Structure 1
Amino acid sequence: MKHTRTISTVLAAAMILSLAACQSGEEDSSQTDVPAGVAVQVEEVSRQTISTENKVSGKVVADGQESIFVAVNAQCTAVYVEAGDTVSAGEKICTLDMASTLSSYNAANISYSSAVQSYQDQKAVFDSQIALYEKNLSDLKALKEIGAASQLEIDQAELQLESAVATRNSTLSQLEAGMQSYKSNVEQLATVLENVDSGGNVISPVAGTVVTLNATEGGYVSASMPVAVVEGVDTMKVQVSVSEALVPKLGQGDEADVTISSLGVSTVGTIRGIEKAANAQTKLYTVTVALDEDIEGLLSGMFADVTFHTDTSADAVVVPTEAILTSGSTQYAFVVEDGVAKYTEVTIGLTGNGVTEVTSGLSEGQQLVTVGQSYLADGTAVRIVSGED
């Protein structure tokens, strides 16, 4: 009897523990219920200014003595310094009457840019056509294997492809010759305008002391004699090499972001020199960027990253780049409307540092999904959470 009571007691205890566990499980389940919808983070679409960012690496170098030449005879209309004066990098030395030369240079730049664009556009058209001809030929060969196409059709497709390739090569060769001619003209005029800004002002490429000055108001300067000689004060500058695609977009006086990683320093510099001839080995152009402030610990030979800002678009719809998704040739994003995700195809423009211009598909004020968009489809229920959730 005692044994029977012991068993009954154990069974009762087990039932109590089981009930308690069930109740605990029900409580835990109720506590872990999650609201319906995919969790996403959003950002309101806004309009701002965006610039294409072109990042290149270079080295810090020390300034020395600079002889400032202008490769043309021109009348001096104003002089701003005297021998013995101290000048900063970018400071005006004098002004020359170079209106016709500047006009010719601007016109040559426009012609060259137009020729480059024409070449690129024509190449894109030809490449697209040839890709279609190649696909057609490949499809016909596959059909012939199953008896659905003849050898004659294949021969005709091959001739069509060969003709398209020959036409492309001939046309692009002519366009390239014209482009190189315009480029040569730009380089010749750019040599004349080295150290001259868009206003005809001769500027000092370095900071230092004017030790020689050959410019006088009302007088003429010549290509055979420097306008001035400036003795550098051991200031630092950064030299980088850029491609022929980027160099036409840069101008003396333009600002650029400079980062010295070894010192953990980011600063702003100003373009003070653009070589007009490419390096024979690298085919790249040297651009000199003067640093606008003294940096403690900066030494010649240190590496530096320079970011040039080009192709600016103002009052543009600008969104985080990661918000844009791609499927084949289609780019799209998701916006939130009434608690659901809405699929929206977009067209993009310029790209900057982590941001992208959207030229169509999005409007200011919309709630753009910036986190969680990869898990969405059109009409998916969503719940907006903060980055801290």
Structure 2
Amino acid sequence: MKKNWLIPALAMLLISTACSQKEITSQNTESNKVPVTVAEVSKQSISDTIELVGLAVPETQVPLLTTSPLTVEDVHVKIGDIVKKGDLIVSLDSEAALEQVSQAQQAVTELENALSKMQEMQKTAENQASLSDIPKLQEELNQSLEKSQALLNGVDTGAVTSLDLLQSTMDVMVKQAQLANAASQAQQIPTFNTTELEMSLTQARQSLKQAEQMADATTITSPIDGIISELNVVKDGIATPNVPIGTVIQLEEIAATFQVNSYQVSKLKSGQRATISFEGVTETFQSKIESVSPTVNPQTNMFSVTVPVSNSELGIKGGMRATAFVEVENMESQTVVPMNAILYEEDVAYVFVIEKGKAKRQQVTTGFRDKEFMQIVDGLKQGQKVAVNGKERLKDGIEITEQSE
């Protein structure tokens, strides 16, 4: 009798153990599932205000350059200093440049002296030739010829003696000889060719100007009133032509610059109102879109949008993160998901689609967004479910447990 009751007891114990193991296994399986809240991909209207994210860029930025590699003698400012136009920024080694100026100046002086001497010699030779006497001698010869002709006319009347005629003839011969001598001297005047000397002087003056410009370039001054935003040299270092010595900016006017995709740019145009905010600045700014790039940047495959912002208090700094809410058309019946369903990896947007209790990673192309929803241009269909809260813990293919919000 004792053995009869033992068999049913053992059977009950085995059944109980099997059930308990099944429950434990089930509990372990459930605990491995990631709890998430889900949302359905739907068709909704996107608000007429879209959000853009970009950077604050000073509208005026002037790089400071050198034309040749030179040693830095001194740096007179530091980053953040306020400077006026003409203020000294950097001094470069000027010894070689000043030596070139001295040599070029000496060449100009020597050529100027040589040209002056040659011109003076030309003038002296012309004066010695007595060119001014030729017209006078010609007039005197004409008078003598007229007198001689008159005497010849009086020979027949006996009023003119042969002695008078001889004296008149001798006078004509003397005047002719004087005129011939003066003309001969004029033909023998030496000619001085100054053309080549004048060309050399012009070239020397150009070389002097270039040398002076190089000497001036060793003193780097600010071309505008502004702020030093960048310095790329140190004392005793080398300033090179291919790298700016520094940059001077003006912060009074800021360009909020945004990069947008082809879907966004189709809805943006100049003149649209925008509300701009900057990270770290409590004030918001009202402005309008100034420009929308008509062509895509081939490196980024994005379009540039610029919104000017007045910065009279200089609270906005270059490089600050800028956010713009731009008023655009209201778009009806767009495929959307909640904003917080979107994840990014290296600027590529993706979501986790929930299918049969598992998460599936799905890359998507996004469009416009408002404060609540993101437009999905490609990658999802209406009615699909996507993970929202808890999406960060998901991996492709992992099992999930749906939870209510």
Greater C-alpha radius of gyration: 2
Q: Say whether the fold is shared (TM-score over 0.5).
A: no
Q: TM-score, structure 1 length as denominator?
A: 0.36
